[in-house]
Amino acid sequence: MSVFAIDSSKAIQQTLAIIKPDAVKSNQEDAIMSRCVDEGFTIIAQLRTCLTEEQIETIYERQKFMPHYGELKQFLKRLVIGATSFNLFQ
């Protein structure tokens, strides 16, 4: 089941933006989302949550073998992230 359950059939692009904990903590979330809107995206849903270890492993699968991966997982598990779903329409 998707967190963002909306009809996006007319969208030419769908994007899920995950705003990292340090940006959320330093109140940069609004500026980041404003930039996306300025680039032509429409915000269709927003969520603030903590990622589970399973979600982190799925999202950052490519980094699994990087030396900083364990530190990254610990960093992401302990803080709130912002998740925003965007659509780009013609």
- pLDDT recorded at residue 66: 92
Write out pLDDT tens, residues 12-52: 667 777 787 788 888 898 898 888 888 888 887 787 878 88
d(CA 75, CA 68): 11
Closest by Cα among 90, 89, 88 to 16: 88
Q: Which two tokens stand for residue 20?
A: 């990292």
- pLDDT recorded at residue 14: 72
pTM for the whole structure? 0.58
Closest by Cα among 15, 5, 2, 19 to 89: 15
**pLDDT higher than threshold 80 for residue 84:** no
* SS3 state of residue 20: coil
- pLDDT recorded at residue 2: 43
Q: Which two tokens stand for residue 69?
A: 């991966």
